[in-house]
Amino acid sequence: MPNRTSAGAAAGRRLPATLPDRLFLVAASSVPELRPVLDALSRIKVYNLNPREIGAMQKSDPGDRLRRDGSNAASVLQQFSADIRQRVTVNLSRIVPGVSDAETKTLGSQETIEFRQSVKGQEHPWRFLAGDMSDGALRAFGILLAVFQAKAAREGRLPPSLIGLEEPEMPCIPQPQACCCPPSANVPNTVRSWSPATAPTCWTIRISRPNPSLQSTTRMD
C-alpha cells in the first residue's frame, strides 16, 4: 500500500462523483489506491451458525464459502483436503472427546456429514450423521469450518479477510459441572443430555434393551 500522503493526494485528484443511491466506496474503488479497502471489507464474513441447519440434509453446492448459517457445511467439508480435514477433526476432538473423523456423505440427491466417534468398550468407532449430533458439537464444527475454509480456498477464490461470530458467548460444549443432576444409579441404560437452551436442566432417557449384556451408559455432550 502506498503511504497515506501519496494515496490521499492521488485519490483527491480522481475521486468520482457521489450518488445518493450508491455506496461511495463502491464508486471510489475505481481509484487504484482505494480498491484494496473495498476488497478487504467485502471479504468480511460474519456467521450466525445454526446447528439445526448444519445437522439437516443439505443440497450440494460448490462449497467455496460457508454460508452464514452453516447450511452448506457438507459441501464445504467436501472441498477440504485430507490434511485440512484431519486438522478440523483433531481440534473438534478437543471439544467433543472421541471424535475421530468427519466426512461428507451423499444420500440420494442430498448430502450430510457423518462423524465417527470412539466409544469406550467398543472395538470400532460409532458412526453418527450430523442430525444425531448435539447442538454444541455442530456449533463447534461450524466454527472450525469457518476458520479452516481459508486453507481450502480454490485458486482464484479469495478467502475471507476477517471472520466474525455472532453470539460468541453461546457455549459449544458444557463443562461437566454445568449438569445439575447426577447420573442415575438405578437406571443402567441412560443417555444424559444438556442443551444451552435448557440450562441448567438435565434429563435422563431410559432406553429399553432386550439383552442385558448390551446395557451401557453413554454421555452425550
pLDDT digits (tens, 9 = 90+) for 43-80: 889 999 999 999 999 999 998 899 999 999 999 999 99
pLDDT for 14 equals 65
pLDDT for 175 equals 41
Give yes or no: residues 116 and 193 share one domain: no
The Cα–Cα gap between 90 and 98 comes to 10
At residue 9 the predicted structure's pLDDT band, cuts being 50, 70 and 90, is low
Residue that terminates a domain, selected from 136, 165, 194: 165
Smallest CA-to-CA distance from 88 within 155, 153, 142 is with: 142
CA distances from 125 to 4, 41, 47, 189, 219 (A): 57, 43, 31, 19, 15
Q: How many distinct structural domains can be found in the chain?
A: 2
Give yes or no: residues 191 and 145 share one domain: no
The Cα–Cα gap between 60 and 108 comes to 11
pLDDT digits (tens, 9 = 90+) for 89-126: 999 999 899 999 999 999 999 999 999 999 888 889 99
Range of 139's domain? Answer: 45-165
Q: Is 32 among the domain residues?
A: no
Give yes or no: residues 200 and 156 share one domain: no
Residue with cell 451423499: 106
Q: Is 125 among the domain residues?
A: yes
Smallest CA-to-CA distance from 157 within 64, 45, 76 is with: 64
Residue that terminates a domain, selected from 165, 189, 209: 165
Give yes or no: residues 200 and 123 share one domain: no
Give yes or no: residues 126 and 196 share one domain: no
Q: Check residues 65 and 206 and name the one with the higher pLDDT.
A: 65
Question: Which amino acid makes up residue 133?
Answer: M
Does the reported pTM lie above 0.75?
no
Q: Which residues contact 89 (CB under 8 A, 6 or more apart)?
A: 99, 100, 101, 102
At residue 41 the predicted structure's pLDDT band, cuts being 50, 70 and 90, is confident
Query: CA angle, corner 129, sides to 165 and 64, nearest 5?
Result: 45
At residue 22 the predicted structure's pLDDT band, cuts being 50, 70 and 90, is confident
- The average pLDDT across 8-18 equals 61
At residue 128 the predicted structure's pLDDT band, cuts being 50, 70 and 90, is very high
Report whether 56 contacts 71 (CB < 8 A): yes
Surface-to-core class of residue 42, CB atoms within 10 Å of its CB (0-12 exposed, 13-18 middle, 19+ buried) = middle
